[in-house]
Chain A
Amino acid sequence: MGVALAKSVQWKAAEFGTGTLETTPLNESILKEITKFVEMFIVKHPHEAKFVFVEPLEWKTKLTPSVFNTDYIVSETMVQSEEVDQHRQPLLELRVPQIKVRSFGQLSQLLLIAQDKQLEEARACIEGDIYPPSWELNGKTEEKGEIDYERKGKIYKDLVEFLKDKSTVFSESMSKQEAKRNEEQQQNKTDGKPQKEEPSTSQKTVPGSDISKLEKTQIDFEKSQMTKRLQPSLNWKTSVDLKEHRSSLKDSTEEKHGKPRASISHGRPQLLRKSVEKIEETISESSSESEEDEEATDHRQEANADLPSEYWQIQKLVKYLKGGNQTATVIALCSMRDFNLSQETCQLAIRDVGGLEVLINLLDTDEVKCKIGSLKILKEISHNPQIRRNIVDLGGLPIMVSILDSPHKSLKCLAAETIANVAKFKRARRVVRQHGGINKLVALLDCGQSTAEPTLPSLYETRDVEVARCGALALWSCSKSHSSKEAIRKAGGIPLLARLLKTSHENMLIPVVGTLQECASEENYRAAIKAERIIENLVKNLNSENEQLQEHCAMAIYQCAEDEETRDLVRQHGGLKPLASLLKKTDNKERLAAVTGAIWKCSISKENVTKFREYRAIETLVGLLTDQPEEVLINVVGALGECCHEHENRVLVRKCGGIQPLVNLLVGINQSLLVNVTKAVGACAVEPESMLIIDRLDGVRLLWSLLKNPHPDVKASAAWALCPCIQNAKDAGEMVRSFVGGLELVVNLLKSDNKEVLASVCAAITNIAKDQENLAVITDHGVVPLLSKLANTNNDKLRRHLAEAISRCCTWGKNRVAFGEHKAVAPLVRYLKSSDTNVHRATAQALYQLSEDADNCITMHENGAVKLLLGMVGSPDEALQEAAAGCISNIRRLALATEKAKYN
């Protein structure tokens, strides 16, 4: 913005040495606009109004201290606002006649106070501040001609720019405000179609408080400002731009074949333009286009003195693209490819000089050579995220999708490759899908298999394999959207991908496996992957030399191995060994994460764990418990958790020194990691010897404090892990009591509404209640009514653990009676109708305990417990048998006693 600003200021320097604004009708109206805008700012953007400027706005005011109201501390010659910044500095400070204002809110209020002197103050403020002495140092006196031109059209914009420059906060607030507006507008515009995922890049950078980001935004603003100046014929009046913008937006979501795209203005980055527009829209309506048009050519030269030379060369080439016949166009396209198109400067230069529009327009012509040339460039520059969005905004995707039908294979390839680059974000993928792109891309996978295709003996042709590869590449990008995955499946993509998976070309396999891996997040795919015998080939490619391919294969196995049959397939096809050996290569973290993920899921099957032990993978896993990124740790710990279900492996983990690093991980914050770590520690705690170590490392306390974790999965997992700890710790009762407030915490978790948390806490309470002293404490904390309240549930897991907890708690004081009073008995009887034997056993035991109380027996009898229990007396489960019999005998005894009493 330096150039723009310096110029406007220099104009003032040259013409008005004292730095005053000329009184012209135009300036007057601009001033009015500013005043209105600033005045309303506090109402419209109360949040932004509070931002504190880096440097105050300073000018000589004509206002006297007496006019200030009670929000200010007023003395004879001084006024200070009560509103202060974080350093307790007032945001407004007046020492007659000098005034300093440091926020928009204060500026707004000041203008309200000034009332009829508003305009004067605004003028003084602008004059006072837009002409700080430092600007004179800038020194270059410009020719007067340009300066005159600059004046009327640009004052206003420069003022805004200036404020922005003066204060990052201003620009931030402006951008925020504009971002908000953009969102609103988009919502209004898109007929309810969700467009949320398209915040412009500039918007995205703004909300971060990071200064470098802010600076970037400013540079972007500057750039767009520059480009604006480049375009002589451009009319930057808001209304016009907005209309154009709308049409381009609309176009991007509609079919737009044959529509002339020329109406879209050249040379301006759409998204950045948007932001500038919005600022203009907010505050400016006054600009005269004719003046803008007149002298723009001069402008062009000096405004861009600091642009890189590529910019000019590219601009020239774009000119030839626009005004050349096929021959000239091809030459210009070829020449353009000689620039380093992977460099952002060149990518943005092409866009900023209006090259994107031309390149996309070329795709809509009949000239095969021009299309090829254009796509070759688009393919390169679409690696840039901004360019991707621009391409979508300019409606490039539907044309590329239609090119997929071309008889020319090289065109198909280039279009698919470009789509692969562009479809990296959701909105783009939607456009591809809505234009039938998925079907066409899937058809590319079939290339070379169908003989119906016309063969074209042409120079610009390419092999069928290449076509399929490019199709897979594009599908890979698309497969990141849920709906696209579905569309790929419906288009018959899976068998085709399965067939391509049999090739041995790495550059083909990577996108194919990549796509499968993305899609495997869907249940449908996992079934199909199994059915199409894809696992076999995934396993085969684990042995490839290519790290990326190994990674994607492992990732796909990770996704699919939730399924038991798939886990077996991985083993049967010999996939466990390569996984175990890849585990030792820790340099590539992405691959390591994928491999450990696959090992984790595979080790859910016992047979696989045995294999892993054979391959000494468990030792290696323990070694990976330290110094690894979280993504790896989650999987490693998950795998160890699964392995430690077996005694042998628990011993192994302990002997390899795995307990300490596991316990150390209990202090993390990553939720998935904590869930896995608590599981693993819990699994280890089953071993008394390991429990000793856990206890010594204070692991139980750490687990206990995870009961306070906000996430229910972590809470539940921690509570489950506590059970074996309490079972196996020496002096468990004493240990539990030593956690201050621990028992109350556990009891209160019974108020959770998460079934898993409830079940786990019931299990923990069952273990805690084994210690009479602790049972007394939790009884005092009201465990009985809380447990009773849970009784009405259909969840068998919860029923089982709840019944166990009730049964255990009955052994203290009058708890049996209390459970009856809190109506826990009748629901428990109903548990006997469950289909789960574990529930039967726990319930029968609880009822047996409860039946020691006469009232409970009556309730049981009334609820038909006897008949149900009688059936269970014949159960092969001895514990159940015994409990059922005991309960029946208690009820029977009571009945006899009652009868006896009657006759006596």
Chain B
Amino acid sequence: MNRKRLQKLTDTLTKNSKHFNKFEVKRLIKLFYTLVGETTERPGSVTGLDRNAFRNILHTTFGMTDDMIMDRVFRGFDKDNDGSVNVSEWVHGLSLFLRGSLEEKMKYCFEVFDLNGDGFISKEEMFHMLKNSLLKQPSEEDPDEGIKDLVEITLKKMDHDHDGKLSFADYEKAVREETLLLEAFGPCLPDPKSQMEFEAQVFKDSNEFQDVTS
């Protein structure tokens, strides 16, 4: 990519980014193209990270392990739903990932957990997301009993209007009371440690900042 185009892209994305400065945006764009370069062999094809490539990044860089959640995170990033994360979606997504406010994160997480996108996290969805969260005890008659119970516990804690499912209002209220419940159904944000490492690595060279602004 030539310098002029990069400059222009950086400018555009910086203008649209709430949380990153020009330097950071530039570094993220560079990182994006490095990552894309690694995954797409053929030049000229759509520049973007497909599902697998993105999941790979989530796994190695942000320590995520849950396949289903990672799929949902991919969908969260892939705003235009074209099956790949382009550079704008990348910067935008990471903006939330790394610097998002609680409000932004709540909105994002709720979308991740609302598997069918109907505006509610239903019992079934919860069950689905929590089904691997407990060690199965072979002695138990119903191996899913624990999970079902966990779902009930979560509902008791978060379902304020007692309709058996979580609306965004339910979820928001619960999270405001206890921030730990933000990622109640699985880690869909980078954990603080890998976030720190990522930022340290990507944004490390501040000399270039002058380069960009000059």
A contacts, CB < 8 Å to B: 316-317, 319-320, 323-328, 330-335, 337-338, 366-369, 372-373, 407-408, 454, 456-460
Contact = CB atoms under 8 A, between A and B. Distances in A.
Contacts, number: 81
A327 B187 contact: yes
Given A324-B134, A337-B178, A331 B192 contact: no
Nearest to A460: B179
A141 B58 CA distance: 61
A369 B180 contact: yes
Interface in B172-200: 178-187, 191-193, 195-196
7 contacts: A330-B180, A331-B130, A334-B180, A337-B178, A338-B156, A459-B105, A459-B179
A472 B192 CA distance: 26
Contacts of A333: 180
A330 B184 contact: yes
B52 interface: no
B137 A327 contact: no
Interface string B33-50: 000000000000000000
B7 interface: no
B146 interface: yes
Contacts of A317: 153
Nearest to A329: B133
Contacts of A408: 192
Interface in B115-153: 129-130, 132-135, 137, 146, 149-150, 153
A332 B146 CA distance: 12
B180 A328 contact: no
Contacts of A456: 192, 196
Given A328-B150, A335-B156, A459 B133 contact: no
A334 B157 contact: yes
Given A324-B134, A368-B192, A369-B183, A334 B178 contact: yes
Contact of B133 (A324, A337, A369, A457): A324
Contacts of B31: none
Nearest to B181: A334
A327 B185 contact: yes
Contacts of B193: 366, 368
B134 A328 contact: yes
B184 A368 contact: no
Nearest to B153: A335
Given A320-B150, A335-B156, A457 B180 contact: no
Contact of A327 (B149, B183, B191, B192): B183
Given A316-B149, A334-B157, A323 B134 contact: yes
Contacts of B154: 331, 335
B145 to A, nearest CB: 11
A331 B153 CA distance: 8
B137 A323 contact: yes
Given A366-B193, A368-B191, A369-B183, A328 B130 contact: yes
Contacts of B132: 325
Contacts of B133: 324-325, 327-328
The 9 A-B residue pairs whose C-beta atoms are closest, nearest first, are A328-B133, A323-B135, A335-B153, A327-B133, A325-B133, A324-B134, A327-B186, A458-B192, A330-B180
Contacts of A327: 129-130, 133, 183-187
Contacts of B156: 335, 338
Given A331-B153, A335-B156, A459-B182, 16 more contacts: A320-B134, A323-B137, A325-B133, A325-B134, A327-B183, A327-B187, A331-B130, A334-B157, A335-B153, A337-B178, A338-B157, A368-B192, A457-B98, A458-B195, A460-B180, A460-B192
B107 interface: no
Nearest to B133: A328
Interface string B88-99: 000000000011
B147 to A, nearest CB: 9
Nearest to A369: B180
A333 B149 CA distance: 14
Contacts of B153: 317, 331-332, 335
A337 B185 CA distance: 18
B102 A459 contact: yes
B180 A372 contact: yes
B99 A457 contact: yes
A324 B185 CA distance: 12
A619 B135 CA distance: 74
Nearest to A458: B192
A373 B180 contact: yes
Contacts of B182: 459
Contacts of A458: 192, 195
Contacts of A369: 180, 183
Interface string B11-48: 00000000000000000000000000000000000000
Contacts of A324: 133-135, 150
A808 to B, nearest CB: 81
Nearest to B151: A331
A366 B157 CA distance: 25
Residue of A324, A338, A366 contacting most chain B CB atoms (<10 Å):
A324
Contacts of A319: 146
Contacts of B181: 330-331, 334
A326 B134 contact: no
Contacts of B187: 326-327
Contacts of A325: 132-134
Contacts of B191: 367-368
B12 to A, nearest CB: 24
A460 to B, nearest CB: 6
A331 B146 contact: no
B121 to A, nearest CB: 13
A870 to B, nearest CB: 87
Residue of B178, B179, B192 contacting most chain A CB atoms (<10 Å):
B192
A317 B192 CA distance: 26
A338 B155 CA distance: 13
B110 to A, nearest CB: 15
A377 to B, nearest CB: 11
Contact of A320 (B99, B146, B195): B146
A367 B179 CA distance: 15
Residue of A320, A366, A407 contacting most chain B CB atoms (<10 Å):
A320
A408 B179 CA distance: 15
Interface in B151-177: 153-154, 156-157
A331 B99 contact: no
A323 B135 CA distance: 5
B19 to A, nearest CB: 9
A369 B191 CA distance: 9
Contacts of A330: 180-181, 183-184
A365 to B, nearest CB: 12
Contacts of B135: 323-324
A441 B167 CA distance: 42
B195 to A, nearest CB: 8
Nearest to A411: B192
A366 to B, nearest CB: 7
A320 B185 CA distance: 15
B202 to A, nearest CB: 15
A454 B154 CA distance: 34
A454 B203 CA distance: 14
Contacts of B185: 327
Contacts of B130: 327-328, 331
A337 B184 CA distance: 15
B107 to A, nearest CB: 14
Nearest to B105: A459
Nearest to A367: B191
A95 to B, nearest CB: 58
Contacts of A372: 180
A367 B154 CA distance: 20
Contacts of A335: 153-154, 156-157
Nearest to B191: A368
A47 B172 CA distance: 66
Nearest to A325: B133
Given A366-B193, A459-B105, A331 B157 contact: yes
